[in-house]
Amino acid sequence: MMPDIDGFEVCRRLKLAEVTRTIPVVFLSAKTEEAEKKRGLEVGAIGYLCKPVDPGELLAEVSSHLA
């Protein structure tokens, strides 16, 4: 967990700012509830991975959005 501001708010702010709007965001979280995943996607993330994350899954997720 991050102090002061959570990842949802960080993502929301990134998507509001013109200069950072197009940066792809993938959540990597200890929260595994479907509602959390849905919320992440609703605020603009392109993916949501849960810890412990498989390194191959993370690489595939990032690679698919950099291509």
* pLDDT tens-place values along the chain, 67 residues long: 778 999 999 999 999 999 999 999 999 999 999 999 999 999 999 999 999 999 999 999 999 888 7
- Stated as kind and residue range, the H or E segment containing 27 is strand 26-29
How many angstroms separate the most distant Cα atoms in the chain? 33
Whether 50 contacts 29, CB under 8 Å: yes
Domains of the chain with bracketed CATH: 7-66 (3.40.50.2300)
